[in-house]
C-alpha cells in the first residue's frame, strides 16, 4: 500500500468511532485512547480543543450571520497570516475546490502535492542551534534527510501552502509572492463568516504558541522515534521504504499510534504526551 488511504476506515475498524478528542489524544467508542501524530495534517497542530477558535466560531454563529458575501480573501485573515509568516507575500488565495487549487498552483509552476508548506516552529527560528546565553540546548535539526531540508526552506518559494490550524474542513490557503499572479489565479472560494473568525483566532493562537514550544520540547521523544523516523523540529519523516509504509501505518495503529496516512506527508511529535505512549511500539518492533 503505497498511496494515501482511508485513515478513518482503518481507525474505526480497530477501535470504533472517535467519541472525543483532547490535546494529542483521541478517545474511541471501544474505550481506547489513541495518540495522534497526524493531527489532521497539521490542522490540529496545537492539539485537539486547544485555543479559542471554537469559541469564536460559536459566537459568530450565535450573532446570526453564517452566510458568504463575496469571494475576496478576507482582510482580517490576511493581516493575521502576515503577522504569522512575517509578511513577504503579495496576496493569499483560499480554496475548498480542488480543481481551483490545482489551477492556481499551475499558474505558479507547481502541482498538487509538490507545493512547499509553511512549517511553524521551523521558520520561526526556535530550532536553530543554541543561543550564546542559553543552556546546553539540543539542536532539533540533526538529520541529513534532503526532503526535510527542502521543507525547512519552504519560505523561499514563490508560492507556499499554509495549513490553517483549525480542523473544520479541508481548505487550502496559498500564499503568493508575485503580485502579477493575482490576475491569473482563480478567485478564492467564499468563506463563511464564522469560519473566517475561527481561522483568524486559530492563527493568533498559533502565534501565541510559537515561543512556548522549544527545541527541547520536540526532542523529548528522540529515543523512542529515532528507530523509525527522521525528525526536524516537530516534524517526522519515515526512514523506511515507501513500499513498507502501509504496513508500518497499520502496525503503529495497532500500537495505538495514529501517524500520517501518507508516506509523503509528515507525522508530528505529540506535544503534551509522555514517553509511555510509545511503549507498545517499543515492545512490538516493526520490521520491513
Calpha distance 269→259 (Å, rounded): 10
Lowest mean pLDDT among 3-7, 131-135, 261-265: 131-135
Indicate the average pLDDT of the chain: 84
pLDDT attached to residue 211: 83
Reported as a single tens digit per residue, the pLDDT across 9-31 is 899 999 999 999 999 999 999 99
Q: Average of pLDDT values for 253-268?
A: 94
Reported as a single tens digit per residue, the pLDDT across 59-111 is 988 988 888 866 678 889 999 998 888 778 899 999 998 999 999 999 999 98
Q: Would the pLDDT of 257 be above 90? A: yes
Q: Rounded to an integer, what is the distance from CA 43 to the centroid of its chain?
A: 5
Strand order in the sheet with 159-162: 91-95, 172-176, 159-162
pLDDT attached to residue 116: 82
Q: Are 123 and 85 in contact (CB under 8 A)?
A: yes
Reported as a single tens digit per residue, the pLDDT across 185-217 is 999 998 888 899 999 999 999 988 888 887 788
C-alpha distance from residue 242 to each of 10, 155, 247, 284 (Å): 19, 26, 10, 21
Q: Would the pLDDT of 137 be above 50? A: no
Q: Which of 97, 68, 67, 70 is nearest to 186 (CA)?
A: 97
Confidence of residue 282 (pLDDT cuts 50, 70, 90): very high
Confidence of residue 241 (pLDDT cuts 50, 70, 90): very high
Q: Rounded to an integer, what is the distance from CA 189 to the centroid of its chain?
A: 21
pLDDT attached to residue 148: 61
Percent of the chain at pLDDT > 70 equals: 85
Q: Would the pLDDT of 240 be above 60? A: yes
pLDDT attached to residue 70: 67
Amino acid at each position: 500500500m503505497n498511496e494515501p488511504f482511508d485513515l478513518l476506515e482503518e481507525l474505526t475498524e480497530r477501535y470504533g468511532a472517535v467519541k472525543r478528542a483532547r490535546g494529542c489524544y483521541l478517545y474511541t467508542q471501544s474505550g481506547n485512547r489513541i495518540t495522534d501524530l497526524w493531527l489532521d495534517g497539521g490542522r490540529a497542530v496545537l492539539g485537539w480543543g486547544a485555543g479559542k477558535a471554537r469559541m469564536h466560531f460559536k459566537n459568530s454563529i450565535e450573532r446570526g450571520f453564517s452566510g458568504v458575501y463575496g469571494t475576496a480573501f478576507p482582510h482580517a485573515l490576511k493581516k493575521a497570516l502576515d503577522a504569522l509568516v512575517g509578511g513577504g507575500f503579495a496576496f493569499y488565495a483560499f480554496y475548498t475546490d480542488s480543481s481551483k487549487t490545482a489551477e492556481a498552483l499551475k499558474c505558479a509552476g507547481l502541482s498538487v502535492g509538490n507545493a512547499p508548506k509553511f512549517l511553524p516552529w521551523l521558520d520561526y527560528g526556535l530550532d536553530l542551534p543554541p543561543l550564546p546565553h542559553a543552556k546546553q540546548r539540543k539542536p532539533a535539526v540533526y538529520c541529513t534527510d534532503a526532503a526535510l531540508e527542502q521543507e525547512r526552506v519552504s519560505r523561499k518559494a514563490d508560492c507556499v501552502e499554509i495549513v490553517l490550524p483549525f480542523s473544520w474542513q479541508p481548505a487550502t490557503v496559498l500564499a503568493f509572492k508575485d503580485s502579477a499572479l493575482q490576475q491569473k489565479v482563480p478567485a478564492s472560494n467564499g468563506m463563511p463568516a464564522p469560519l473566517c473568525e475561527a481561522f483568524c483566532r486559530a492563527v493568533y493562537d498559533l502565534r501565541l504558541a510559537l515561543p512556548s514550544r522549544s527545541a527541547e520540547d520536540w526532542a523529548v521523544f528522540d529515543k523512542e522515534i529515532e528507530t523509525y523516523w527522521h525528525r526536524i523540529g516537530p516534524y517526522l519523516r519515515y526512514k523506511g521504504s515507501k513500499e513498507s509504509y502501509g504496513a508500518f501505518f497499520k502496525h503503529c495503529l495497532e500500537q495505538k499510534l495514529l501517524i500520517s496516512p501518507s508516506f509523503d506527508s509528515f507525522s508530528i511529535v505529540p506535544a503534551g504526551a509522555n514517553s509511555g505512549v510509545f511503549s507498545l511500539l517499543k515492545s512490538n518492533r516493526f520490521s520491513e
